[in-house]
Amino acid sequence: MYAPRYDMDFVNYIKDLLLRIRHDDLSTSEKELFKLKLNNIRDSDILLIVHEWRNSDMGITRADVKRFFSLFETVFGRRIEQIEKTFPKNHPVQVYLRENELLDKHIEEIHSLMERVEQNHKLLKEKHIMTNIRKQIYKFGQFINHFNRKEKLFFPRLERYGEFSLTRLMWSADDRIRNLYKGTKSMIDRIEHLDFSYIYRTFHMFKQHLQEMILQEKIFLLPVIIDIFTDDDWQAIAEESDAYGYSFFTPEAYVQHHQDTDIKREIDETLKHKQFAFGGGYLTLEEADAILNNLPVEITFVDRFGMFKYFNKMVEASEMMFIRTPSSIGRNVGNCHPPKSMRKVATLIRDLQIKRREYECMWFKKDGKYVHITYKGLFSKEGKFLGILEYVQDIQPFFELPREVKKELSPIEDNREDINNIEPLDN
């Protein structure tokens, strides 16, 4: 259970209270004890504990949580789950709340359409209705952008502040929602060959889980991160959000005008032109950085402690085969993957570390591309484990090469007027 700053007695007190107020009202003395125990505790910590019990196997329901919040409001005169702080236009919180409103609106519209067909199966013969259902279901896939930003931008920062439970629980729930969406979409594709009632039940389950997540983001996630994150955190989130995309609308750029937002790292001028030994020769840091950023592969390096330490930038983040942004730097590599992948990731890391495997390769189709991934353990000359190198390449162009051999330069057109005035290199 979550208890980074409090002992189990306090955590269990919250659990017992959640179960008890289901049946009984607290006496005056019990309310005074409630106030005494929670008075000096940060709202975000209380919400994190309640969230974990809500998602445990103790059977704590949404109604139990609602009663807890009502009790808190009665005792303290304010709502712990309400976002009271105001945020400027296009702030990441405003964007997230707006997306949730749109997600809820669109899922209800699809539900109304599906319900009409469920109540009258004769509508299955109406081609325009079936086409509209497919169109709306596919369009709704934008919700994945919403989840990706949460998992790749919010969660790493929560982990830096020592909060892991909420990220793991929510990511697991997100994966269930994704799977329900994939199942619904797959059945919609075969709608003419399946019992529509079965499709409707699957969609309804997807809708229930999605709307439960929308609620949990509203009453748990956002209040917690608002309490914890700094202005610098929000600025970095805003700057990196475009890479993952949005759901049903695209906000304008959010800029904090009251502070310097240029966080680009520059190579120290005293080291910029110094020669360092690399491989069979020498390179400056500037040259090495340029080479790494121009290799035709996406590179990621995880150090010997399992920390995500480096990625090259051959293209903008939004164009990467696997999106990487600075938010992931310093994150434990296990936490960069969904909870369902943890065992596979841990096994691979261990095998590479002890040289059970020299490397591991995977390949698959992604967005019309054949993607090839290699994981390789790196060791010093003395055999000390340094970390793991991952490199990703789009190999689709290799399948499309013509059978003819090409050994000459490609023809180019250059209309510059001074092209003939260039001096030879050997002059």
Whichever domain contains 149, its CATH number is 1.20.120.520
Closest CA relative to residue 204, chosen from 220, 187, 217 = 187
Q: Is residue 272 part of a domain?
A: no
199 with 115, same domain?
A: yes
Tokens representing residue 146 in the block? 């919403």
In angstroms, rounded to a whole number, what is the distance separating the alpha carbons of residues 288 and 271? 12
Partners of 281 in beta bridges: 278
* 106 shares its domain with 226: yes
Q: Report d(CA 229, CA 153) in Å as an integer.
A: 12
Are 150 and 230 in the same domain?
yes
Q: Which of 174, 209, 241 is the last residue of a domain?
A: 241
Same domain, 114 and 158: yes
From residue 119, give the alpha-carbon distance in Å to each of 11, 112, 116, 195.
47, 11, 5, 13
Position 226 in a domain: yes
Q: Where are the beta strands (DSSP E) in 173-297?
A: 275-278, 281-284
Same domain? 43 vs 72: yes
φ, ψ for residue 6 (rounded to 5)? -135, 150
Closest CA to 259 of 277, 224, 225, 235: 235
Is the domain of 98 the same as that of 234?
yes
Question: Which pairs with CB-CB distance under 8 Å and at least 24 residues apart come from 17-22?
Answer: 17/68, 17/71, 18/50, 18/53, 18/60, 18/64, 18/65, 18/68, 19/58, 19/60, 19/64, 21/64, 21/67, 21/68, 21/71, 22/61, 22/63, 22/64, 22/67
Is there a single domain that holds both residue 143 and residue 228? yes
Token code pair at residue 210: 């999605």
Q: Considering the domain boundaries, does residue 234 fall inside one?
A: yes
| In a domain? residue 291 | no
Q: CB–CB of 298/317 below 8 Å?
A: no
User: Structure tokens of 112?
Assistant: 């109304």
Contacting residues for 366 by C-beta, under 8 A, at least 6 apart: 321
Is residue 221 assigned to a domain?
yes
Residue by residue, pLDDT tens for the chain (427 residues) are: 344 456 789 999 999 999 999 888 889 999 999 999 999 899 999 999 999 999 999 999 999 999 999 999 999 999 999 888 889 989 999 999 999 999 999 999 999 999 999 999 888 888 888 899 999 999 999 999 999 999 999 999 999 999 999 999 999 999 999 999 999 999 999 988 899 999 999 999 999 999 999 999 999 999 999 999 999 999 999 999 999 999 999 998 876 644 443 435 555 677 778 899 988 999 998 899 999 999 999 999 999 999 999 999 988 988 999 999 999 999 998 888 888 888 899 999 999 999 999 999 999 988 888 999 999 999 999 999 999 999 999 999 898 888 889 888 888 776 655 555 555 555 4
Average pLDDT of the residues of the chain: 89
Per-residue model confidence (pLDDT) at position 415 = 61
Q: Could you tell me the residue range of the domain that residue 38 belongs to?
A: 8-76
Look at residue 56 and tell me if it is in a domain: yes
CA distance 65 to 19: 9
What local confidence, expressed as pLDDT, does residue 408 receive?
86
Which ranges in 89-126 belong to alpha helices (H)?
Answer: 92-119
CA 317/CA 198 separation, integer angstroms: 40
Kindly provide the residue ranges of all beta strands, DSSP E only, lying in 259-320, ordered along the sequence: 275-278, 281-284, 298-303, 308-311
Task: Name the E strands within 219-307.
Answer: 275-278, 281-284, 298-303
pLDDT at residue 418 in the model: 56
The reply to whether 404 falls in a domain is: no
Q: Are residues 234 and 307 in the same domain?
A: no
pLDDT at residue 5, as a whole number? 59
Domain boundary among 17, 45, 76: 76
Q: Which two tokens stand for residue 293?
A: 């950023």
Where residue 381 sits, what CATH number does that domain have?
3.30.450.20
Same domain, 325 and 356: yes
Among 43, 76, 109, identify where a domain stops: 76
Q: Does residue 304 share a domain with residue 381?
A: yes
Domain count, the chain: 3
Considering the domain architecture, whether residues 186 and 226 belong to the same structural domain is answered as yes
Residue type, 389: L
For residues 28 and 160, state if they share a domain: no
- Residue 283, in any domain of the structure: no
